[in-house]
Amino acid sequence: GGELFDRIVQKTHYTEREAQNVVRTLAKALEYCHRKGIVHRDLKPENILLSSEDDEEAQIKIADMGFARPVLDAGMETSCGTPSYVAPEILLGQRYGTAVDLWSLGIIMYILLC
Query: Which positions are catalytic?
Result: 42
Rounded alpha-carbon distances, angstroms, from residue 53 to 28, 59, 68: 21, 10, 27
* Residue 34 CA neighbour count, 13 Å, CB half: 13
- Is the Cβ–Cβ distance between 94 and 79 less than 8 Å? no
Q: Residue 40 phi/psi, 5° resolution?
A: -75, -50
Sign of the Cα torsion 72, 75, 80, 85 reads: positive
